[in-house]
Amino acid sequence: MHDIRVLRERLEDLRAAMRARGVEVDLDAIIRLDAERRRALTEAEALKNERNVVSKEIGRLRKAGQDTAERQAAVRAMGERIAALDAETQRAEAERDALLLRVPNIPHSSVPVGPDASANVIVRTWGEPRSFSFPPKSHVEICERLKLVDFARAARMTGAGFHIFTGVGARLERALIQFMLDLHTQRHGYREVSPPFVCNTAAMTGTGQLPKMAEDMYFIPADDLYLVPTAEVPVTNIFMQEIISEPLPIKMTAYTPCFRREAGAAGRETRGLIRVHQFDKVELVKFVEPETSYDELEALVRDAEDILQALEVPYRVVALCTGDLSFSAAKCYDIEIWAPGQNAWLEVSSCSNFEDFQARRAGIRYRNAQGKPAFVHTLNGSGVALARLYVALLENGQQSDGSVTLPPAIRPYLGGLERLEPSA
């Protein structure tokens, strides 16, 4: 959410930012409601002041044994007007904030301007896509042949978009989670947390999933809880409504499953593990001082890249343009890995700086150098998303005999296993 002062004082900047995003928002309505709110508020406060003054006087006079009936009647008469003004203030504020919650963040000046993903900029590429002496298979075939994943049985109990990891396939998934957590905690200095997999409306609003993304999330009405679409939500909200007292930056990493309804997406491009309703992810979250947040973003991307380098998966880093930026982000890099069986780059990480956009919504503050409460900057990125990483490992590691060679870094987590082979 924006500071309302941005609308009052930097309205043209905000309009330009919305144009760059290709987003239509009625900023004038917000300005109008804000003015209405302040008008009613100012008048109400003046009346309340009068009421407070007279009430104190009544207290004094009564103690002195004097009659106060006339004054009491006068104050009582003010009550109706005050109540009406309070209601007006609340209405205007609620309407203003409802609109304000739907205004996306302002892209950072370094973000490339463009209408959609076609204007994204490839920042760097790592590793060489392997050349094959045979037509590389899709991970779906590999999974079936090696019995790593059971799609059909999952579909019977949950429908399309879910899967069962089986046998060594399940162990590989677990190994990857542990490998990533270990690397981030031991080498990159992140604190491991294991948060709830459901969050309430306030938390979802705090990080910006609500109100706009309500349709994309699984919701449990009986308890007013949403299944988390990303660990970003429960981890960022660890400090909701707090003034953080420990020194910044704070770096946290968490494994959670991620649940996404993403209705309507199915077909050739999303077969297998590419787009699923539930997938595992190790997330990185940072709470930092505003001055350092863009340096911290670069470091965050490197931390995620380390995983892919260790696993020897070719990837590229893409700077998202203004039109492709997600709602809460001021700047974002995607990391995409090469999947030869798909002949495509797959997004496995989105690393974003939200500046104070989430912190303002969620009420996450720290004490600045002057000792005054100020909003922190929040960042997060996948470090990295499973399922698609799994796809890339299988498709990149596949051999002509149908086996899959595993990268050395993951082998210790699989009891030294070097390759996945068909079993009887």
Active-site annotation, residues? 260, 275, 347, 350, 388
Binding residue for RNA (CB under 7 A) from 19, 22, 26, 55?
55
The answer to whether residues 44 and 82 touch, using CB atoms and an 8 Å cutoff, is yes
Binding mask 74-113 for RNA (x = CB under 7 A): -xx--x----------------------------------
Q: Is the CB of 118 or the CB of 370 nearer to RNA?
A: 370
**Distance (Å, whole) CA 155 – CA 148:** 16
The answer to whether residues 393 and 311 touch, using CB atoms and an 8 Å cutoff, is yes
Q: Is the CB of 82 or the CB of 385 nearer to RNA?
A: 82
Q: Does 42 bind RNA (CB under 7 A)?
A: yes
Q: Which listed range, 54-62, 132-140, 176-184, 304-312, lies at the site for RNA (CB under 7 A)?
A: 54-62
Tell the smallest beta-carbon distance from residue 409 to RNA (Å): 34
Contacts of 262 (CB under 8 A, 6+ apart): 216, 275, 277
Residue 217 one-letter amino acid: M
Tokens matching residue 324: 């492709």
Q: Is the CB of 19 or the CB of 76 nearer to RNA?
A: 76
The answer to whether residues 142 and 404 touch, using CB atoms and an 8 Å cutoff, is yes
Binding mask 360-399 for RNA (x = CB under 7 A): ----------xxxx--------------------------
Binding residue for RNA (CB under 7 A) from 26, 29, 53, 129?
53
Binding residue for RNA (CB under 7 A) from 54, 164, 248, 417?
54
Tell the smallest beta-carbon distance from residue 57 to RNA (Å): 8
Q: Is the CB of 52 or the CB of 405 nearer to RNA?
A: 52
Q: Which listed range, 2-10, 15-23, 310-318, 330-338, lies at the site for RNA (CB under 7 A)?
A: 2-10
The answer to whether residues 127 and 349 touch, using CB atoms and an 8 Å cutoff, is no
**Distance (Å, whole) CA 90 – CA 37:** 8
Q: Which listed range, 40-48, 213-221, 229-237, 311-319, lies at the site for RNA (CB under 7 A)?
A: 40-48
Q: Does 66 bind RNA (CB under 7 A)?
A: no
Count other C-beta atoms under 10 Å from residue 412's C-beta. Answer: 12
The single residue listed with the structure tokens 């496995």 is: 348
**Distance (Å, whole) CA 413 – CA 308:** 16
Helix (H, G, I), strand (E, B) or coil at 224: coil
Tell the smallest beta-carbon distance from residue 4 to RNA (Å): 6
Q: Does 291 bind RNA (CB under 7 A)?
A: no
Q: Is the CB of 194 or the CB of 343 nearer to RNA?
A: 194
Binding mask 322-361 for RNA (x = CB under 7 A): ----------------------------------------
Tell the smallest beta-carbon distance from residue 181 to RNA (Å): 22
Helix (H, G, I), strand (E, B) or coil at 44: helix
The answer to whether residues 334 and 347 touch, using CB atoms and an 8 Å cutoff, is yes
Tell the smallest beta-carbon distance from residue 306 to RNA (Å): 35
Q: Does 62 bind RNA (CB under 7 A)?
A: yes
Q: Is the CB of 264 or the CB of 371 nearer to RNA?
A: 371
Closest CA to 281 of 351, 209, 369: 351
| Total residues in contact with RNA, by rule CB under 7 A | 32
3-class secondary structure per residue, 87-144: HHHHHHHHHHHHHHCCCCCCCCCCCCCCCCHHHCEEEEEECCCCCCCCCCCCHHHHHH
The answer to whether residues 259 and 218 touch, using CB atoms and an 8 Å cutoff, is yes
Q: Is the CB of 55 or the CB of 158 nearer to RNA?
A: 55
* DSSP letters spanning 155-170: HHHH-TT--EE-THHH
Site for RNA in 195-254 (CB under 7 A): 243, 245
Which whole-number Å values give the CA distances from 386 to 105, 193, 278, 380, in the listed order? 28, 18, 10, 16
Q: Does 45 bind RNA (CB under 7 A)?
A: yes
Site for RNA in 19-38 (CB under 7 A): 34, 38
Q: Is the CB of 35 or the CB of 170 nearer to RNA?
A: 35
β pairing state of 315-319 and 278-288: unpaired
| Footprint of RNA (CB under 7 A) | 4-5, 9, 34, 38, 41-42, 44-46, 48-49, 51-56, 58-59, 62, 68, 72, 75-76, 79, 243, 245, 370-373
